[in-house]
Structure 1
Amino acid sequence: MTEEIFKDRIIGAINTCIRLVNESDKWDIVGKGIIKNEWKSYVMDDDGTFVAELYILNNKKTLYFEKKEWFGASINIHDNKKLNELISVYG
């Protein structure tokens, strides 16, 4: 049960990141379609790594979040280096 709560939080953080990037106007005048809203994720059984498969400008990008990066009460979009990098590059 606890894992599901933290999994929901990282999914929410990724969705927020996607929204922030897609609402920007950095790449086109309306800023839509930079990152597809539909994406896949799973947790690796061996070490608990959370894997997110995104499509950015029609290119697949896979993000790997070690368990310590997503499994914890203090994890949020502002503390996550990978999500902040996406926002700074594409947002």
Structure 2
Amino acid sequence: MKKIAFSMAPVLALLAASPAFAADLKNNDDVAHEIYVESAETEKTVTIEAHATLHDLCHNCYVEVVESGSALSVEEEENLTITDGQLSVE
């Protein structure tokens, strides 16, 4: 039984670390933006303040700047930016 527990440890560690592959979002604008985020697990709207960064926003998700409609599909670890209300990948 102990062998099984020890052999599962690396697998469990990888599963626990998976959120580390989430996208970061940086707002380069002088104004805050509402961001709509949709993934298989959840839908949410968050606010990103001017010149702020949201770390670990999501992975395998859809991200949209509500005011401008600018949107992207995010796979895994990507750095997203908002400039003049438009989303882009760094």
What TM-score, normalized by structure 1, do the two folds share?
0.38
Instruction: Point out the structure with the larger helix share.
Output: 1
Q: Per residue, is there more strand in 1 or in 2?
A: 2
TM-score by length of 2: 0.38
